[in-house]
């Protein structure tokens, strides 16, 4: 969408380093848009009417609607101050979409992407039972992005009963191992658990992708075999790429690290966050209950998430 700003102040003025003559338009480049959105003077002058937003076709004379266009958010609410002429600020962790919306969901399960992918939230219940002789209980939380849209994780809640000394729970964000085949497009070779482009070029490898691979970020070390620009996946033959692709599920982020579960906490306590992180397609959560005390105890987890769909009507 093209964004234009008109100076209606009656005099030449400068905003974000750009001079705009009276009654003239300025076409905001995409690369500059974030600066204009964050600039306090721009916000104030849109609110006062000294600047008018144009969506590429018409001038948006109502300030709140104009600001909606430039910030590409949902309609901002009006406060009850000054007869509703001021914009109200409502802080929210809700992810914003250019089209459609997202919904908050409190859930004790993900989706069953294998046995029953047609049911939203039909995954394994996040109740963990540890028995003597069981050192670890593992559950995975997956979401069907293809069927039900995007998912964001906000907070987690935990309660437990009868935990012994040393018992704890951890959770990781995992990247799914790459789906591979050996029939067509054999451009790849396997080096340990790493998937690399064949040194001899296309058609000289032993494997090909069977589906879209999940990338393991290596931006902190730059020792990956692949680069990705948002559209194109290209091999980095020097091994200095931003990503790896692996044949096995790989932890890429420790979401919850060794939360002690000694004794009993009968009520859910919240692991709060000021952030909401998208769990993209190809990634899932793995929760590990560690029975260090080798005793009988149990724990339950619920999460606050946002997703595009919550039921299958």
| Signed CA dihedral, 210, 211, 214, 215: sign only | positive
Q: How far apart are CA 35 and CA 40, in angstroms?
A: 10
- Rounded to two decimals, the pTM is 0.70
Q: How do residues 100-121 score in pLDDT, each as one tens digit?
A: 788 999 999 999 988 877 789 9
Locate 257 and state its tokens. Answer: 């690290």
Residue with tokens 């992407």: 113
Backbone angles phi, psi at 107, to 5 degrees: -135, 145
Go through 26-36 and write b for each residue having 16 or more CB atoms within 10 A of its CB, e for each that does not.
Answer: bebeeeeeeeb
Percent of the chain surpassing pLDDT 90 = 60
Residue 159: pLDDT band with limits 50, 70, 90: very high
Q: How do residues 165-188 score in pLDDT, each as one tens digit?
A: 999 999 999 999 999 999 999 999
Q: How far apart are CA 224 and CA 242, in angstroms?
A: 5
Q: Please give the average per-residue pLDDT across 156-164, as a whole number.
A: 95
- Contact 290/171 with Cβ under 8 angstroms? no
The pLDDT value given to residue 83: 53
| Least reliable range by pLDDT among 29-43, 135-149, 292-306 | 29-43
The pLDDT value given to residue 86: 52
185: nearest Cα among 208, 152, 162: 208
Q: How do residues 58-84 score in pLDDT, each as one tens digit?
A: 888 888 777 777 765 434 444 455 554
- Sheet with 226-228: strands ordered across: 216-217, 243-244, 226-228, 233-235
181: nearest Cα among 208, 214, 213, 212: 208
The length of the chain, given as a count of residues: 313
SS3 127: strand
Please tell me which residue, 189 or 115, carries the higher pLDDT value.
Answer: 189
User: CA torsion 6→10→16→17, rounded to 10°?
Assistant: 120
The pLDDT value given to residue 87: 47
The pLDDT value given to residue 91: 60
Residue 219: pLDDT band with limits 50, 70, 90: confident
152: nearest Cα among 217, 102, 225: 102
What's the mean pLDDT when you consider all of the chain? 88
- Contact 132/295 with Cβ under 8 angstroms? yes
Which domains are assigned to the chain?
A: 4-84 (no CATH), 103-175+250-307 (2.60.120)
Q: How do residues 10-31 score in pLDDT, each as one tens digit?
A: 999 999 889 999 999 998 887 7
Helix H or strand E segment including 303: strand 297-307
């Amino acid at each position: 969408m093209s964004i234009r700003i008109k100076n209606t102040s009656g005099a030449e003025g400068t905003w974000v380093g750009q001079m705009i003559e009276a009654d003239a338009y300025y076409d905001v480049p995409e690369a500059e848009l974030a600066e204009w959105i964050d600039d306090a003077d721009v916000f104030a002058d849109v609110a006062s009417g000294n600047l008018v937003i144009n969506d590429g076709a018409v001038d948006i004379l109502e300030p709140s609607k104009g600001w909606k266009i430039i910030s590409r958010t949902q309609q901002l609410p009006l406060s009850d101050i000054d007869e509703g002429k001021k914009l109200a600020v409502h802080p929210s962790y809700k992810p914003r979409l250019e089209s459609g919306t997202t919904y908050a969901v409190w859930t004790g399960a993900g989706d069953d992407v294998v046995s029953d992918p047609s049911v939203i939230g039909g995954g394994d219940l996040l109740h963990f039972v540890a028995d003597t002789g069981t050192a670890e209980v593992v559950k995975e939380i997956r979401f069907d992005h293809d069927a039900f849209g995007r998912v964001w994780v906000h907070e987690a809640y935990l309660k437990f009963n009868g935990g012994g000394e040393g018992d704890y729970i951890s959770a990781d964000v995992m990247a799914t191992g790459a789906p591979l085949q050996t029939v067509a497009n054999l451009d790849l070779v396997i080096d340990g658990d790493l998937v690399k482009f064949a040194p001899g070029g296309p058609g000289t490898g032993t494997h090909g992708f069977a589906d879209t691979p999940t990338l393991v970020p290596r931006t902190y070390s730059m020792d990956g075999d692949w680069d990705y620009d948002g559209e194109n996946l290209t091999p980095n033959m020097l091994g200095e790429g931003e990503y790896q692709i692996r044949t096995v599920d790989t932890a890429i982020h420790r979401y919850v690290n060794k939360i002690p579960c000694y004794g009993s906490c009968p009520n859910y306590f919240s692991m709060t966050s000021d952030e909401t992180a998208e769990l993209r397609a190809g990634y899932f959560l793995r929760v590990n209950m560690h029975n260090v005390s080798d005793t009988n105890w149990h724990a339950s987890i619920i999460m606050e998430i946002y997703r595009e769909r919550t039921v299958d009507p």
